[in-house]
Structure 1
Amino acid sequence: MTSFHVVDGTLTQEVIAAAPAKILELVRDTYLAHSLGRTVNPNSYFLRFPDKPSCRIIALPAHLGGEQPVSGLKWIASYPPNVEQNLQRASAVLILNDAETGYPFACLEASQISAARTAASAALAVETLQPGERPRTVLFVGAGVIGRTVSNFLAARGLAVGDCLVHDHVDAYADNFASYLRETHGWTSAQRADDIDSALAMADLVILATTAPAPWLSDEQTLRPDQLILNLSLRDIHPTVMIKCHNILDDVDHCLTAQTSPHLTELEYGTRDFITGTLADVLRGEVTLHQDRTTIFSPFGLGVLDLAVGAHIYRTALEQGRATEIPGFFPELSRW
């Protein structure tokens, strides 16, 4: 492979919006492939800044095997102060490498890919961990891009929402998100929830998508045994809550790093016995959940998910003739 293409974010967005079911299928298949050892997914690498402790840039290298193997790297920046300037918190690129030669062959705008694979993972978890259930009350905690994208995937999958609540530390963000849910998805009950404790006690499905630097959801809040919590922001939940719940992860070793809620729980209690299994275990029927405790799904975010979605978008862009080739990107390919 000797050519190099760029795929812009507008096209990426269009491909995702056109077929969210395809994205969810790719995520499901990749989870199963990963659980069977058909991927390589090293730990993520964090670039941090002493003068900007809330900011980081993360490198997620990965390899996905199968009939169309591909390697690559997602390079994603998370800068929470961006929100104050009405900029999105996260920005990213995804580099795809040829599995045979190692040559990079594409660069894709990847903030949309990252949000979509996270949202598809969330929707898959709802369908797998709360099958057949119609959540009477859904609570979004954090009114940002991730929460919005999760709502898009849940709506695309036909989730019938009863009451819908939105909580954010900035009232205006919560109001904007609630308006979006009403106008875009027809969830007419969507409204801002000022009292987070009452909202948590009411909700059947809780989507945590914040930038909180430390756990805030403690055992002072009331949770229910039939409740599903999607811990998408990684470290909102205190270990004293985690230890009492069913805990489903996307990958055990990957999740138990970087001060995530599962990692903090392992450090606090010195055991991994609180982990019930992975989402792939549930998909294969190897783990069965009972509604005797709250269930928490904590996906750290596997780089192979970005690869699967990114490779699909790249191939679609080529088929549509909309991938931008960069002539001369490799000025010399022959060794001699």
Structure 2
Amino acid sequence: MSDVTHSPDLVIVPSAVVQQVLDTLGKESKEIVERIYIEAAKGNLVNPDSLFLRPDPPRRERVIALPAYVAGEPPVMGIKWISSFPGNLSLGLPRASALIALNDPRTGFPRAVLEGARISAHRTALSAAVGAEALREGDRAVERLAVVGTGYIADTTLRVLANLGWSCQQVAVHDLDAERARSFATEHAGTFPAGEMTVAGTLREALSGADLVLFATTAVDPYVSTPDWFAPGSVVLHMSLRDLTPAALAGASHVVDEVAHALREKTSLALAVDEGTVAREEVRPIGDHLRGEVRPDRSRTAIYAPFGLGSLDIAIGGLVAERAIGLEGVVTVPGFSAS
């Protein structure tokens, strides 16, 4: 007789509870991101390629499946299913929506479904923070931060940076929608208490003199044309992946989450490697920096472009599911699976 205890029940964790748990994790979730990046650099992840579904290929709408298995105690296994529909913004809806489905690693049966957009934004913001800290060699005091794109990812990233003890003397915000940029600047006026928040009328104005740059747009076509748009020695968090032309990547240090993943789907870096502007062997995983295998060259612009690893979503989702047990708002569906 098997000693495996199987529950046919399914736990559903809605958005409000997900956020409630995320707010309690502190540096714990950052440590998860760092650990997974180190394992990625060692080649130890079970993290298949993301799968892209484009209902109408010429359009910008897409849904992405990111499966992963994360070893540990306890192990966790599942998939994130996240959509990006930029047209939602004109409807007053968020661009992205997602769910995370977790399976029991012993039996494979589904055990939990979590609202995934908050987890996805949280881990993306943590990815940015981990990359920035590694490439700035622990220096969390920023003279000028440029924020390009003022959606949910930029919002979450600024909050995560502040919660992790980062300071910014100046924050320059730029968005194609000037009203969104103004609203974002107003909302974040106190995020960095000693910082001055301004709205930049042009992209060049936002980037001028910035020692840390955050790209969090929905761009599909590169528009930053030359590397001189960036201050020497700056760290560029290229979270939206497609803002920079191959020419703009020339001469920089290039860092990703996992090399093979990052060189897909016509990202700026993939185009630059295909064109020969950037040599593939010069692209390094952030985990090499975290484990001390390589140090950043602070004299060069460093461009960090993490493609997004499902392992991060699944690991943090597993922790959220565990901590959500017993909280108000969590729903259990008895007998969801056949027993």
For the criterion TM > 0.5, the same-fold answer is yes
Q: Give distance in 2, aligned partners of 1:320 and 1:29.
A: 28
Q: Give distance in 2, aligned partners of 1:57 and 1:28.
A: 26
Q: Higher mean Cα deviation, 34-43 or 240-249?
A: 34-43
Aligned to 1:232: 239
**Deviation sequence 1:238-270 (CA, Å, 0-9, x none):** 111223200010000000001111111111118
Report the identity percentage.
36
One of 135, 157, 161 as aligned partner of 2:164? 157
Aligned to 2:196: 189
The one-letter code sitting in structure 2 at the alignment partner of 1:198 is E
Aligned to 2:253: 246
- Indicate the structure whose relative CO is greater, using CA pairs within 8 Å and at least 6 residues apart: 2
CA shift at 1:220, angstroms? 6.7
CA shift at 1:8, angstroms? 0.6
1:210-289 matched pairs, under 5 angstroms: 210-219=217-226, 221-269=228-276, 272-273=279-280, 275-289=282-296
Q: Higher mean Cα deviation, 277-286 or 20-29?
A: 20-29
Unaligned regions of 5+ residues in structure 1, if any? none
Q: Give distance in 2, aligned partners of 1:149 and 1:20.
A: 14
1:1-336 matched pairs, under 5 angstroms: 1-2=6-7, 3-50=9-56, 53-130=59-136, 131-132=138-139, 134-186=141-193, 188-219=195-226, 221-269=228-276, 272-273=279-280, 275-318=282-325, 320=327, 323-330=330-337, 332-333=338-339
Q: Give distance in 1, aligned partners of 2:140 and 2:78.
A: 37
Q: Give distance in 2, aligned partners of 1:156 and 1:17.
A: 10
User: TM-score, structure 1 length as denominator?
Assistant: 0.94
Q: Give distance in 2, aligned partners of 1:15 and 1:295.
A: 33
Aligned length: 332
CA shift at 1:277, angstroms? 1.1
Q: Give distance in 2, aligned partners of 1:22 and 1:315.
A: 14
Q: Give distance in 1, aligned partners of 2:335 and 2:72.
A: 30
Unaligned regions of 5+ residues in structure 2, if any? 1-5
Q: Give distance in 1, aligned partners of 2:328 and 2:219.
A: 42
Q: Give distance in 1, aligned partners of 2:72 and 2:43.
A: 11
CA shift at 1:322, angstroms? 5.5
CA shift at 1:274, angstroms? 6.2
Contact 2:84 2:95 in 1 (8 A): yes
Summarize the Cα distance change of 1:264–1:285 in structure 2 as closer, same or farther, 3 Å threshold.
same
CA shift at 1:126, angstroms? 1.5
CA shift at 1:15, angstroms? 1.3
CA shift at 1:38, angstroms? 3.5
The one-letter code sitting in structure 1 at the alignment partner of 2:298 is Q
Q: Give distance in 2, aligned partners of 1:271 and 1:164.
A: 30
**Deviation sequence 1:141-164 (CA, Å, 0-9, x none):** 000000000001100011111011
Contact 2:13 2:112 in 1 (8 A): yes
CA shift at 1:288, angstroms? 1.2
Contact 1:314 1:323 in 2 (8 A): no
Q: Give distance in 2, aligned partners of 1:235 and 1:329.
A: 41
The ranges of structure 1 where at least 4 consecutive aligned residues each deviate by more than 6 angstroms after the TM superposition are none
Q: Secondary structure at the match of 2:59?
A: strand
The one-letter code sitting in structure 1 at the alignment partner of 2:286 is L
**Deviation sequence 1:66-113 (CA, Å, 0-9, x none):** 221121110000000001112110000000011121111000000000
Q: Give distance in 2, aligned partners of 1:323 and 1:133.
A: 37
CA shift at 1:320, angstroms? 4.2
Give the aligned CA root-mean-square deviation in angstroms: 1.7
Q: Give distance in 2, aligned partners of 1:262 and 1:126.
A: 18
CA shift at 1:189, angstroms? 1.1
Summarize the Cα distance change of 1:158–1:270 in structure 2 as closer, same or farther, 3 Å threshold.
closer
Q: Give distance in 2, aligned partners of 1:197 and 1:321.
A: 48
Q: Give distance in 2, aligned partners of 1:221 and 1:194.
A: 19
Q: Higher mean Cα deviation, 31-40 or 6-15?
A: 31-40
Q: Give distance in 1, aligned partners of 2:189 and 2:83.
A: 30
Q: Secondary structure at the match of 2:201?
A: coil
User: TM-score, structure 2 length as denominator?
Assistant: 0.93
Q: Give distance in 2, aligned partners of 1:165 and 1:116.
A: 22
The one-letter code sitting in structure 2 at the alignment partner of 1:208 is F
CA shift at 1:177, angstroms? 0.7
The one-letter code sitting in structure 1 at the alignment partner of 2:19 is Q
